[in-house]
Every structure is written in structure tokens, then in C-alpha cells.
Amino acid sequence: MIDLSGRVAVITGASRGIGRAIAMVLAAQGAKVVVNYRANAEAANEIVQAITAKGGEAVTVQADVRSADEVARLIQAALDRFGRLDILVNNAGTTRDTLLVRMQEADWDLVLDTNLKGTFHCTKAVQRVMIKQRYGRIINITSVAGLAGNAGQANYAAAKAGIIGFTKSVAKEVGSRGITVNAVAPGYVPTDLTADLPPALIAEAVSKTPLGRPGAPEDIAYAVAFLASEEAGFITGQVLSVDGGLVMQ
């Protein structure tokens, strides 16, 4: 049983899908959780209520990770409430899928700004805190699209591949300060983010998954919980694919 008692975790984009599952699982393991959301306050509050109903501690903080100022406010709110910050999960993300020939610059910018620049803003914002503590766990949610590419997702795959390079670089910068930086690459997981995928594409993804099923948000959450734990203290700069074998490196 992973024990995160006494740890404080900030999860970005935690009002739904994989982020929601991560918040619930980390709280169940004993962490105090900051549920970040951009727009869906009702969903974020429901997660906090579910966590507190089970005896956990959680708080919602609205912030758009595309803004450095809003991210600074998010991190300060976590520190004001809980006094420390041990775990950062960079989960916030979005898609604007279309073939490159039809892709608008705004679609490119939105996806890169949310997925990649948001990860930059949040990771930079927690560094001084974690360096001072000489302890930290940073887990970035990437994607198998960042490992293998995906037609119709040039913007998303570029952002997620960028997160992988970012993860490895930052891991080398902060390892001597007791901070680990890793990434989790989900395969196909049914969430609001993937709800608009064509049925044929979903069927193809499942058919190419050796375990023969789509992932569940909890599959990703348990991997994140492991990387946030003491047991993963000698793991850094790695990409853990949680994809049922869809993309084997």
C-alpha cells in the first residue's frame, strides 16, 4: 500500500477524467490534494466533497495553466492552505484534432500553450519550493501520441513529445536536490477529451492493444501514485507507458 500521508499534491486539470482519478487516488493514499480547474467549478467541488466525505483533505483552486500569473497564484494558494508542496501532477491538457493541411494556427497555439507551456509554467513555479525542501515529485502526463505520433494530432503529439524532452531535461537539473521528474504516457482512455474520436479510430486503438481493452482513468492514477511515492525514489527522467501494450519501446 502506497502511503502519501503528510504529502501535499497539486493536480492540474483535475475536474474530470484522468485528473479527477489522480486526485481521488492520491487522496485515498493520504495526500492532501489541490484540485486545479480552469472552468468547471461544479465538477471540481464535487471531487473535493467526495474526498472529504472519505476523511481526506482537499481544496479547489481555479487557474488557467497557460498563464504564468495564474499558475503563481495556484501554487501560492496551495502553500497558504497546506504549508508545503510535495507532488505536482501536470495533467491539464486539451486537443484540437485535424489533419495538418486543415489545422489553423490558433489550434496549434491553444494545444501547445495548454499542454506544453502549461507544464513549463507549473514546473517552474514549484521548483524553488521543492529545492528548498530538498524533496519533490513531479509527474507529467504525456501520451503515446508523443511517443509514436498520431495522424490528425500533429499539434497534440508535438506538445506531448515536448513534455517528454522537458521531463528528461528537468530531471537532470534537479535530481541532486532530491526531486524526481517522470512522465506517464496513457494509451487510449475513454474520457471527455477522447469522446469525439471517431468510433473506427477507437476500435482500431483497442484492437492494437495487446491487453484487449481501453484503459481506465484509475489505471493512470495508480501509476502516478507509484511515481509520487517513496518507493519510486530512485526513478527519474523516465516515461512510463500505461497503455496496455499499445506502444512498446
Active site annotation includes 156 = yes
- Total residues found in the chain within this entry: 249
Q: Find where cell 509527474 sits.
A: 139
Residue type, 172: K
Catalytic entry in 37, 156, 188, 222: 156
Enter the C-alpha cell of residue 63. Answer: 487557474
Task: Select from 227, 222, 225 the least CA-distant residue to 238.
Answer: 227
Helix, strand, coil % (nearest 5) of the chain?
50, 15, 35
Whole-angstrom Cα distance, residue 89 to residue 26?
11
DSSP 206-232: HHT-TT-S---HHHHHHHHHHHTSGGG
- Cite the active site residues: 156
